[in-house]
Structure 1
Amino acid sequence: MRIPFTKMHGLGNDFVVLDARDQPLPPIDAAAAAALADRHMGIGCDQLVLLEPSELADFRMRIFNADGSEVGACGNATRAVGLLNGAAARIETLGGLVFASPAHDGIAVEMGRPRFGWDEIPLAYAMDTHAMPVGWEDLDTPIAVNVGNPHAIFFVPEADAVDLARLGPTIEQDPLFPERINVNVATVIARDSIRLRVWERGAGLTRACGTGACATAIAAMRRGLVDRRVTVRLPGGALSIEWRHDDEIIMTGPATESFRGDFDAAAYGLLSFGTAE
């Protein structure tokens, strides 16, 4: 059995998309997702994205990090899937319902409403998530935001100067974060501009992180550092983030289809089930 895939990216954050909306696929587990994501022995990607039928929305999107762990949301993947779908769609995710639609400058995604409660992040124990009384070396007093998955945001004088490759995994796996954490280091450039780098849980340093851009923009707005619409500049490019007065987060940016192909299901431990090759 050969399974078709589409390789896509959003600002360099890349995905392998498997479409099971019309034709069911063998069950995808953590081992298979990690094998497909491997850049030496597999297709290679930051996240594997699986599209399935949904009773709640137009379709369901499941997201697996490169290490095989499943996560609730991915903004860049949602834009990629919105491009692949070709029309406005309501999408079910583990992090909640999102809405993707074509826009003049890419794909616009309604990401839902941010959550700030310590048990909504979640943290291991109660504390003020607006200015957390914790730190790791020079990174301290982060703000925590859940936008479908958890983020800790550190505002620093120069984001590029932070050794995020070293500190990122330490913070990600700290016992304070029972579901691990995405680590964001950000520098506010102007009232409408932020520079951002992200250590993504289960994936590592990434060229772009859509939920990280959303979480960082919301954190900066909560602290009064920026206005309600900002451009977040990541190593892979820029995203526009708006926090509407109805509390909805709108992320707009590009998505790209790189190529299409197929792979041998058996080579990744996926066995056919009642479908002809």
Structure 2
Amino acid sequence: MAIEFTKYHGLGNDFILIDNRASTEPKLTPDQAIAWCDRHFGIGADGVIFALPGQDGTDYTMRIFNSDGSEPEMCGNGIRCMARFLADLETAETGKFQEKYRIQTLAGIITPKFESNGQITVDMGEPRLLASEIPTTLTGEKVIDQPLEVAGKSWNVTCVSMGNPHCITFVDDVAAIELEKIGPLFEHHPVFPQRTNTEFIEVVRSDYLKMRVWERGAGITLACGTGACASLVAGVLNEKCDRRATIELPGGCLDIEWAADGRIYMTGDAEKVFSGSRS
């Protein structure tokens, strides 16, 4: 039986979106998601996102399978893609869509909102800084500018959870990082019992950062929304950037703000690529 899908991307971080509103269980298994995400033999994507019915008063539920079949708690670019997907579905069915959604994720309730210019602002919630919340076994209640030995080199790292784990390190030149070699060593380092996303950050100005990312379960991607949020938090904690800054990723830029209410707000776009069906 063929399953309909639509592909979207947020700054080149691409996802296969599936209308799963008729069931609380994803239409694909993790193994099927791996096959669909294959860029040579499948559709090609960083992950598959399922739009399921809402829970506990939310509008919808989001679940994601990464390209390796693992299931992350949340995805910043992915939830913007899901908001665009839901708006397209609702417009096709009723001629209008909600300007704001409350979406249940494994990281809690996330709220994307459409701006008048078509951009999507997502209330990403408050960052979690306790080592036990990341989780990491690095010493101390919080991990801020701590040394970590990776590949025979000491890196100063800061750990932040945006509902999923992030390890951030500041470097002089992000382009010089051999991400395909060093990324997996960070992801699978024993101090991260649930593995980790890893962001390498170059501070251009206090309001402008460059970022490259190795995503847990997906590898090198062109963008990572939760990673951009975590990186701004790490920059503020290390007194390297303002509480609002542009984060430049290989796929484009995101506007990130750690607001006075303690919550992180991410603003960026999401675009439809194409629709189809696959058995």
Asked if TM exceeds 0.5, the reply is yes
**Counterpart code for 1:98:** I
Deviations 1:178-199 (A, max 9, x none): 1101111001111110000000
Q: Does 1:151 align with 2:166?
A: yes
- The equivalent residue for 1:271 is none
- The equivalent residue for 1:167 is 182
The count of aligned residue pairs is: 264
8 Å contact from structure 2 (residues 83, 112) kept in 1: yes
SS of the aligned residue for 1:101 comes to strand
Structure 2 counterparts to residues 56-135 of structure 1, below 5 A: 56=56, 57-86=58-87, 87=98, 88-103=100-115, 104=117, 106-124=119-137, 126-127=139-140, 128-135=142-149
Match of 2:272 among 257, 261, 275: 257
What CA distance in whole angstroms lies between the structure 2 residues aligned with 1:15 and 1:30?
Answer: 14
Structure 2 counterparts to residues 181-192 of structure 1, below 5 A: 181-192=196-207
8 Å contact from structure 1 (residues 119, 126) kept in 2: no
Deviation at 1:54, TM superposition (A): 1.9
Query: Over aligned residue pairs, what C-alpha RMSD do you find?
Result: 1.5
**Counterpart code for 2:169:** F
SS of the aligned residue for 1:133 comes to strand
8 Å contact from structure 2 (residues 8, 271) kept in 1: yes
**Gaps spanning 5+ residues in structure 1: where?**
265-277
Deviation at 1:224, TM superposition (A): 1.5
- Taking structure 1 as reference, are residues 175 and 26 closer, same or farther at Cα in structure 2, changes over 3 Å only? closer
Deviations 1:123-160 (A, max 9, x none): 13543411223132445110000001100000011111
- The equivalent residue for 2:92 is none
- The equivalent residue for 1:269 is none
8 Å contact from structure 2 (residues 20, 26) kept in 1: no
Deviations 1:30-74 (A, max 9, x none): 211111111122111001101111222100000111000000010
- The equivalent residue for 1:41 is 41
What CA distance in whole angstroms lies between the structure 1 residues aligned with 2:154 and 2:252?
Answer: 24
**Gaps spanning 5+ residues in structure 2: where?**
88-97
- The equivalent residue for 1:272 is none
- Taking structure 1 as reference, are residues 245 and 52 closer, same or farther at Cα in structure 2, changes over 3 Å only? same
Deviation at 1:7, TM superposition (A): 0.4
- Taking structure 1 as reference, are residues 82 and 165 closer, same or farther at Cα in structure 2, changes over 3 Å only? same
- The equivalent residue for 2:5 is 5
What CA distance in whole angstroms lies between the structure 1 residues aligned with 2:145 and 2:247?
Answer: 21
SS of the aligned residue for 2:31 comes to helix
- Taking structure 1 as reference, are residues 250 and 139 closer, same or farther at Cα in structure 2, changes over 3 Å only? farther
Deviation at 1:22, TM superposition (A): 3.5
8 Å contact from structure 1 (residues 139, 154) kept in 2: no
- The equivalent residue for 1:228 is 243
8 Å contact from structure 1 (residues 196, 232) kept in 2: yes
Deviations 1:46-104 (A, max 9, x none): 01101111222100000111000000010001111111222310111111110011122
Q: More deviation in 128-137 or 66-75?
A: 128-137
What CA distance in whole angstroms lies between the structure 1 residues aligned with 2:260 and 2:206?
Answer: 18
What CA distance in whole angstroms lies between the structure 2 residues aligned with 1:263 and 1:68?
Answer: 18
SS of the aligned residue for 1:89 comes to coil
